[in-house]
Amino acid sequence: MNSSYKKNRSDKVPIPHSLLRYRELLDDSLRLSVPNCGNSVYKLLEYAMGWIDEDGRPVSKSKGKALRPTLCLLSSVASGGTIQSALPAAVALELIHNFSLIHDDIQDKDKIRHHRRTVWAVWGNSKALVAGDVLKIIADRSLTDVKDKGLNSIISNRINGLLTEAYLEMIEGQYLDLDYERRTDVGISNYLDMVSRKTGALIRSSMNIGALLGSEDDSVADTFRKCGSAVGYLFQVRDDILGIWGQETLTGKPVGSDIRRRKNTFPVVYTISKIGGSDKRELLHIYQKDNIDDNDVQSVLEIMDKVDTRSYAQDFAQSCRDDAVKLLSSVNLVTKPHKDLVDIFNFLLVREN
C-alpha cells in the first residue's frame, strides 16, 4: 500500500467544495426540521447543531462537515436521481448523527467537541440525554417527508427500514466501543466489526439510501452500500490517527487524547498485536490504570513508534480509500457527482480534524 500521507503536516487540509456545495441547503432544511417554539430543550438542540452559542446567540456557521447527508445527496445524483428526492433522508441522517454525538459525549465523558463545550458539559447529563432523545424523534419524523417526494411506497418503506437498521447498528457499535475499553483481548477483527457498526452504519446507509433513491436499482444501491462500508473504515481509522497524533489546534483535543481515555482504537489494537516482552507488559499496564498521565502517553507513543503504527494505520486508511474508488468505478455514474465523491474520499484520507 502506497500512502501519500505527509507525516509532519502543519497546514490544515482545505475542505473540498463538494462537501460545501449543499451546506446551505442542508442547513436551511435542518433548521426547518427542528421546532422553534420557545421550549428550552430545543435551545439545546440548536446548540448541538452548531447554530447558537451557550448564551443563545446565533453562530454564523455550523461546525460539522455534514458528511453523511452530503454523501446521501451525491449518491442520489450520481446514480441518476435528484437532490430534492433525497433531501428528507439526508436531513434524517444528519439528525441521527447529531443525536448519537450528544449521547456519545456523555458516555465518553468528552467535554469538548468542535472547539467548544459539549451539551452535557454545559447543561448536565440528564438534560443532554433528553435533548438527544428528542433529536432522534425529530429524525424519525423527518423521514415521513420521503413519501411526499413521489416515491412508491415500496421504496419509501425500504428507506425507513434501512435507516432504522443503521441506527440500531450504530448503537450496538457504541456499546461495543464502551465494552472494549481497558480490555486487552480485542483483535483487529473485533475492532473492524465494532467500527462497521458505530461509524460505518450511518455512512454506509447514507450512500445506500442515496443510490436507491437515485436509481431504484438494487445492484447499483448494493455497490454504493459496499463503497460506504469502505468509506466508514477510512473515516474511522483516520479519526483514530487524529485521536492520538492530531494537532490540538485543529482537533480541539490534546495529543494522545484517545490514549488517556484508554480507547481500543486501530493504532492501539494493531500495536498490541505486534509487540511483545516488556513493551507489551508496559502498554497493558498503562491501559489498566485509572489515570493516565503525560508520561504514560509518551511511553505508549514511543512503543507505537517501534512498530511504525502511525504509518501502518494511514496505509490501511489508504487501502480503504482505494477500495471505495474502485467500487464507484464499477458502475455507470453521472460524471460530476462521481468526481465529487472521489474528492471527498481523498479529503477523508488526509483531513486534520
Alpha-helical regions (H) of 109-152: 119-123, 125-142
Query: Is residue 334 a part of any domain in this protein?
Result: no
**Is 125 within the bounds of a domain?**
yes
Report, as an integer, the average pLDDT of 319-337.
97
| Longest distance between any two alpha carbons in the chain, whole Å | 64
Question: How crowded is the C-beta side of 118, counted as CA atoms within 13 Å?
Answer: 26
Residue 231 in contact with residue 207, Cβ under 8 Å? yes
Q: In whole angstroms, what separates CA 85 from the centre of its chain?
A: 23
Specify which residues 52 forms β-bridges with.
Answer: 58
Distance, CA of 283 to CA of 71 (rounded, Å): 38
Q: State mean pLDDT over 25-31.
A: 94
Please enumerate in sequence order all residues whose Cβ is within 8 A of that of 342, keeping only pairs 6 or more positions apart, or say none. 325, 328
Q: What would the grid cell of residue 79 be?
A: 446514480
- Determine the structural domain holding residue 188 and report its residue range: 21-55+62-327
Of 73, 63, 87, the C-alpha closest to 344 is: 73
Mean model confidence pLDDT for the chain? 91
Residue 36 has pLDDT above 70, yes or no: yes
Q: Does 246 fall in a domain?
A: yes
Q: Is the pLDDT at 86 greater than 60, yes or no?
A: yes
Residue 282 inside a domain? The answer is yes
pLDDT of 13 reads 85
| pLDDT score of 10 more than 50 | no
Predicted model pTM = 0.92
Residue 13 lies in a domain: no
What DSSP state is assigned to residue 14? P
Q: Is 220 a domain residue?
A: yes
Residue at 80 is within a domain: yes
pLDDT of residue 261: 86
- Encode pLDDT of 224-265 as tens digits: 999 999 999 999 999 999 999 998 778 767 778 899 988 899
How sure is the predictor about 149, in pLDDT bands with cuts at 50, 70 and 90? low
When mean pLDDT is compared across 150-154, 228-232, 287-291, 321-325, the lowest value belongs to 150-154
pLDDT in tens, 186-213: 999 999 999 999 999 999 999 999 999 9
Alpha carbon of residue 147 to chain centroid: 27
Count of domains observed in the chain: 1
Domain of 30: which CATH number?
1.10.600.10
Amino acid symbol at 34: V
Q: What is the mean pLDDT of residues 3-17?
A: 60
Asked if residue 135 belongs to a domain, the reply is yes
